[in-house]
Structure 1
Amino acid sequence: MVAAAFAAPFVYITLTSFAFSPEEFREIFNRYDLFTLLLNTFVLIVCVGLLSMTFGLFSAWFVTMYDFPLRKLFSVLLIFPLAFPAYVLAFSWTGFFGFSGIINKTLSPNSIFFLDIFRNLAGATLVLSFALYPYIYLIAKSAFATMGKRSLEVANIHGYSDFEAFFRIIIPQIKPWLISGLIIVWFETLADFGAVSILSVDTFTTAIYKAWYGYFKIEESLLLAFFLLIKVFILLWVLRLIEGNKYYTQTERQDTNIAQKKNLSPFYKSLVFIFLTSLCTLSFAIPSAQLFHWIFAADQLNLSDISQYTFNTFSLAVAGALCIVLLSLYLGFCNKFYKNKLSGAVGYLVKSGYAYPGSVLAVALFIPIINLSQNISSFTGVSLNMQSTVLPLFLGYIIRFSAVASAPVNGGYQRLKKSVLESAALLTDSVSSKLFRIVLPVLKPGIISAFILTFIDISKEMPLTLMTRPFGFDTLAVKIYGLTSEGEWERAALPAIIIVFLGFIPIAFSALLRRKNVHPRS
């Protein structure tokens, strides 16, 4: 059942797309200007990948390997942009650098001319890079922290400078980590809808929404979703070529992995400090300041409606995260104790689910659920209208974000000792009893991480929620899209701050938990 659920969107979209005639295809090509969509998507993928890699890789290297003022503070601040959805960064940047923003007011107090440098493809590239670089930063920082110090000693023996050692020795060693981070960045870029729509950049996600709600042509949205899926699989193929058939392992003992922080000259300390300060300022300090400015400048705020949107967002995120974590626990348990070809196939499908953009899942799930409801209603005589419930929404959440939860959960299963598994196998209790009595205590850190990551992703998710939510059931993300579409930036600021706050609390809790695990009490 799980395998069928995860494979169904791709199968349905593919079969539906082959039903179009060449004439219909040409008409759709001209109506949505597919060449522009392909070009914009390609530029975003390449540029966002390069910028996110640059920001995340160098910031992780600096805070891990060198000693400079406020290093520990920067190591925490660089995670904060994870709490900012890309669409929040987009409209806060637009307000800061837009017509009535502080930049234009300073350069042209009389509004004779103004700069509008971010409502374009370059602006979308910068916004997405600042929103997504923390994924690279966290993965690279973990790789650098666990990397053996012998690599640096060998580089020094051979006379390599730090710059040469970084590119010739360090980067090849952490290649698998970088590829996994790049996959996340690319998939998030493909799936983005809010930022590109606010910045007036046409991509496949905006075209799918236009076909659904603008032209009311759901079949055409399916074809656009099929083209987007093709790009996803091309990316997976390219990453496979980059990675190659290589395997990596760590050959030295864990206790030799602690490398001494290097001191920098005053000049290089200043450069590193300026780089990290600029990164933190642009990625969350300026957006936060702009949002609070709008909140205090707003004439009226309907707090009762905002509280309802907050409750809807929180309840969806908690319920969705619980469902996904429970599914990940059970699938990981089956794969660990009853491993076979089917469990391996399900694991692959779960991982590939993260590649589905939210807009693709919306069109792939909504129509089949309508057909299923109609068939059941005609057979039983009972009107179900499952498409008007949260069922499509929760199915989309499960397919899209199960990969996010499965990584820490499966990592916990991998840490189960052989003796624990043998003790569990000897028990005659049921599977659920084994799970609760033996396995769950060991998996507790992974479960907490999985819940936090899934909660953050669901609370920020926009296109899937926007396109499949029940009528009148608005969340903070949906309300932000509606207000920014009407140009009401000030009214959108409070929902944006709340959604950032909902993401910030789990991130802070996760950082404290990680610090406790790294530095346990003696």
Structure 2
Amino acid sequence: MTTESLALARTPHPWGVLRLRQYFSARHLGVGWQVASLALVLAVLVPLQSLLGHAMRGSGELWPHLLSYVLPQALQDSALLLLGVGVLVIALGSSLAWLVSAYDFVGRRELSWALLLPLAIPSYIIAFAYLDLWHPVGILQSSLRTLLGFDSPRDFKLPDIRSMWGCILLLGLVLYPYVYLPVRAVFSMQAGNLIEAARTLQAGPQRIFFGLALPLARPAIAVGTSLALMEALNDLGASEFLGVRTLTVSIYSTWLNRSNLPGAAQIALLMLCIVLALISIERWARRHQRYTLATRRMQPLARRRLTGWRGVLALTYCSLPITLGFVMPAGYLVGETYKRLRFSGLESSLLSELLNTLQLATATTLLAALLAFLLSFAQRMARTPLNRQILRCASLGYAIPGTVLAIGLLGPLAQFDAWINRLFELSGHAPIGLLLSGSSVALIYAYLVRFLAIANGSLEAGFSQLPTSLDDAARTLGSSPTRLAWRIHLPLCRPALLSAMLLVFVDSMKELPATLLLRPMNFETLATHLYGEAARGTYESGAIAALLIVLAGLLPIIALSRLAERRDSHGSSP
């Protein structure tokens, strides 16, 4: 018993008895949920331990082949892809955030939220669309030849998009919002006073942007860029469609095409090391991040009006990534869907695939929301360093690429199935076969490990906005922890909970690598259906599935834009 609890016990007033009872209740709740949190951490770390086991079972003769024929090309392509995507998302995200935050021009209000729309297009869908749009006889090059007066593709043809530069461009167009969103928040909330002071000292726009605004946003840029790079490294569909042989593509082909699981596990471990290096670099980049300015003294950034050719140039620059990253691929999908439905109607298999996708996404969303709420509530009730570290470890799954996670889950799921079958045999019953391996349960498990971090982040942010005085008042009135969570925390955190559920639902719908590797036999989702059609070159058949995924992706974009507008209006109010 601590000194604080002894002092409360000696207090003759009933308040001391009440506080002592609350202390033990919170302590008991914290220990109980620490055990539950540790179980979740083990569930996240089990695939990594299994992955290491698969890699160690590989023969030493495998590495000469990998070093000679697989890894050099995979490492080179992955490094070039990460470098190109990193430069592109930083340049686009930072400059666009600065334009809509520091300047006012025609269409700025609409563009500020429309710049998030490319986030609704999964990387494999934009590659799927541009493979047809950018074809020598596709609409883009045909229209350009007509405009320039050329008659044949032999007379004028753009470079082939099936290349490294094409992959960098398309991934950058859909991943720059990861940088745009946090950098825009920094510019909107924290740069007002300093930038106004710089303008008073006659500093030019370029000097303010490069010398003041970018250093202020460096931690946000590091966070957004690391997320974008992890998504680029995890990409499977776009890289394979565009002929870029990344580590993810090498893992997939080594496992399935060559039936070499140990080799795939060894490449996956190398890929995981790269991901951990990206996370370490991101944390190092914001190691000195401090908030030293009082919020009440901060002023919102005063936007300067752009007119004439400067306003037109700003409007054009902000509209270009929206057009290339959302309008053109979405318009293509709408057109192809219309032609497909008019020609042959809706495929009967597509309805079952939509149902499979919705069932997986719904189950994952509900479980992730429940676990994230319980973890955040336990961390609030017992604010110990151990509990905080447990919560962080439980969120590490988002850093594990889908292909790495899928390989790591094979061993534990097979061992569990073998154990269950052994129990049935000992009890005199026939074995039931594979219960978890190759089932939808395995997919839900993989989705939970991957996306629990998203729900945790939203719920943790929601709980941080609730004053602890609410907890104290409820306890004073004799409220139990369960009643406190159900009657007070849950209603107040409902916006954060709904936002988390929406993000997890959409990410689950469009997850491709883990689904391809862990799905049951004859089990298709919208993402795997689209992947199969694109691999066969029948783009019009996959347009309906792609459009459904994009429509689902618009939901969190609308929610994010509304939150951003609400934050901006709050920040601009006196």
TM-score by length of 1: 0.94
| Structure 1 residues without counterparts, runs of 5 or longer | none
Question: Counterpart of 2:417?
Answer: 373
Q: Kindly provide the CA deviation profile for residues 467-493 of structure 1, in whole angstroms up to 9, marking residues without a partner as x.
A: 112222211111000000000011111
* C-alpha separation in 2, matches of 1:119 and 1:301: 31
Q: Which residue of the other structure, out of 247, 272, 292, is the alignment partner of 1:204?
A: 247
Question: Counterpart of 1:383?
Answer: 432
Question: Counterpart of 2:352?
Answer: 308
CA RMSD of aligned residues (A): 2.1
* C-alpha separation in 1, matches of 2:338 and 2:300: 47
Question: Counterpart of 1:233?
Answer: 276
* C-alpha separation in 2, matches of 1:425 and 1:17: 52
| Preserved contact between residue 190 and residue 298 of structure 2 (Cα < 8 Å) | no
Q: How far off its partner does 1:56 sit?
A: 1.2
* C-alpha separation in 1, matches of 2:47 and 2:203: 51
Q: Kindly provide the CA deviation profile for residues 242-301 of structure 1, in whole angstroms up to 9, marking residues without a partner as x.
A: 33x313104133464322210124232122112112111111111122222322333324
| Preserved contact between residue 68 and residue 269 of structure 1 (Cα < 8 Å) | yes
Q: Which residue of the other structure, out of 491, 510, 523, is the alignment partner of 1:441?
A: 491
Q: How far off its partner does 1:161 sit?
A: 0.9
| Preserved contact between residue 353 and residue 403 of structure 1 (Cα < 8 Å) | yes
TM-score by length of 2: 0.86
Q: Which residue of the other structure, out of 150, 169, 175, is the alignment partner of 1:126?
A: 169
> What is the letter of the counterpart of residue 209 of structure 1?
Y
Q: Which residue of the other structure, out of 137, 142, 152, is the alignment partner of 1:105?
A: 142
Go from structure 1 to structure 2 and tell me whether the alpha carbon gap of 1:89 and 1:63 turns closer, same or farther (over 3 Å shift): same
Q: Kindly provide the CA deviation profile for residues 414-456 of structure 1, in whole angstroms up to 9, marking residues without a partner as x.
A: 1111211213444655433221111112211211211121112
2:301 is the counterpart of 1:259: yes
| Preserved contact between residue 411 and residue 446 of structure 1 (Cα < 8 Å) | yes
> What is the letter of the counterpart of residue 60 of structure 1?
A
Q: How far off its partner does 1:67 sit?
A: 0.8
Go from structure 1 to structure 2 and tell me whether the alpha carbon gap of 1:429 and 1:201 turns closer, same or farther (over 3 Å shift): same
* C-alpha separation in 2, matches of 1:437 and 1:457: 29
SS in 2 for 1:99: coil
SS in 1 for 2:190: coil
| Preserved contact between residue 455 and residue 501 of structure 2 (Cα < 8 Å) | yes
Question: Counterpart of 2:180?
Answer: 137
Go from structure 1 to structure 2 and tell me whether the alpha carbon gap of 1:79 and 1:488 turns closer, same or farther (over 3 Å shift): same
The 5 A counterparts of 1:91-490 are 91-106=128-143, 107=145, 109-112=151-154, 114-243=157-286, 245-254=287-296, 256-298=298-340, 299-381=343-425, 382-385=431-434, 386-426=436-476, 429-490=479-540
SS in 1 for 2:537: coil
* C-alpha separation in 2, matches of 1:354 and 1:496: 24
| Preserved contact between residue 404 and residue 454 of structure 1 (Cα < 8 Å) | yes
SS in 2 for 1:93: helix
Go from structure 1 to structure 2 and tell me whether the alpha carbon gap of 1:503 and 1:370 turns closer, same or farther (over 3 Å shift): same
2:68 is the counterpart of 1:30: yes
| Preserved contact between residue 64 and residue 261 of structure 1 (Cα < 8 Å) | yes
Q: How far off its partner does 1:352 sit?
A: 2.1
* C-alpha separation in 2, matches of 1:247 and 1:44: 28
* C-alpha separation in 1, matches of 2:258 and 2:477: 60
Q: How far off its partner does 1:211 sit?
A: 1.9
* C-alpha separation in 2, matches of 1:334 and 1:430: 14
> What is the letter of the counterpart of residue 121 of structure 2?
F
> What is the letter of the counterpart of residue 134 of structure 2?
F
| Structure 2 residues without counterparts, runs of 5 or longer | 1-38, 426-430
| Preserved contact between residue 3 and residue 345 of structure 1 (Cα < 8 Å) | no
Q: How far off its partner does 1:212 sit?
A: 2.2
Task: Choose 330-339 or 147-156, whichever is displaced more.
Answer: 147-156
Identity of aligned residues (%): 27
Task: Choose 503-512 or 146-155, whichever is displaced more.
Answer: 503-512
Q: Which residue of the other structure, out of 104, 113, 135, is the alignment partner of 1:76?
A: 113
SS in 2 for 1:227: helix
* C-alpha separation in 2, matches of 1:238 and 1:138: 20
> What is the letter of the counterpart of residue 178 of structure 2?
Y
Go from structure 1 to structure 2 and tell me whether the alpha carbon gap of 1:495 and 1:87 turns closer, same or farther (over 3 Å shift): same
Q: Kindly provide the CA deviation profile for residues 198-232 of structure 1, in whole angstroms up to 9, marking residues without a partner as x.
A: 11111111111112221122222111111110111
Question: Counterpart of 1:18?
Answer: 56
Q: Which residue of the other structure, out of 14, 18, 39, is the alignment partner of 2:76?
A: 39
2:95 is the counterpart of 1:52: no
SS in 1 for 2:76: helix
* C-alpha separation in 1, matches of 2:567 and 2:228: 27
Q: How far off its partner does 1:183 sit?
A: 1.6
Q: How far off its partner does 1:356 sit?
A: 0.6
2:547 is the counterpart of 1:497: yes
| Preserved contact between residue 45 and residue 189 of structure 1 (Cα < 8 Å) | yes
| Preserved contact between residue 321 and residue 451 of structure 1 (Cα < 8 Å) | yes
| Preserved contact between residue 148 and residue 252 of structure 1 (Cα < 8 Å) | no
> What is the letter of the counterpart of residue 354 of structure 1?
Y
Go from structure 1 to structure 2 and tell me whether the alpha carbon gap of 1:519 and 1:173 turns closer, same or farther (over 3 Å shift): closer
Q: How far off its partner does 1:179 sit?
A: 1.5
Q: How far off its partner does 1:99 sit?
A: 3.1
| Preserved contact between residue 357 and residue 525 of structure 2 (Cα < 8 Å) | yes
* C-alpha separation in 2, matches of 1:486 and 1:50: 32
* C-alpha separation in 2, matches of 1:368 and 1:511: 41
| Preserved contact between residue 173 and residue 325 of structure 2 (Cα < 8 Å) | yes
* C-alpha separation in 1, matches of 2:80 and 2:542: 29
| Preserved contact between residue 58 and residue 262 of structure 2 (Cα < 8 Å) | no
| Preserved contact between residue 354 and residue 399 of structure 1 (Cα < 8 Å) | yes
Go from structure 1 to structure 2 and tell me whether the alpha carbon gap of 1:428 and 1:303 turns closer, same or farther (over 3 Å shift): farther
Larger radius of gyration: 2
SS in 2 for 1:174: helix
| Preserved contact between residue 187 and residue 354 of structure 1 (Cα < 8 Å) | no
* C-alpha separation in 2, matches of 1:505 and 1:401: 17
Task: Choose 415-424 or 197-206, whichever is displaced more.
Answer: 415-424
Q: How far off its partner does 1:140 sit?
A: 1.3
Question: Counterpart of 2:5?
Answer: none
Q: Kindly provide the CA deviation profile for residues 84-110 of structure 1, in whole angstroms up to 9, marking residues without a partner as x.
A: 111110011111111331233343644
* C-alpha separation in 2, matches of 1:347 and 1:391: 24
Equivalent pairs, count? 519
> What is the letter of the counterpart of residue 407 of structure 1?
G
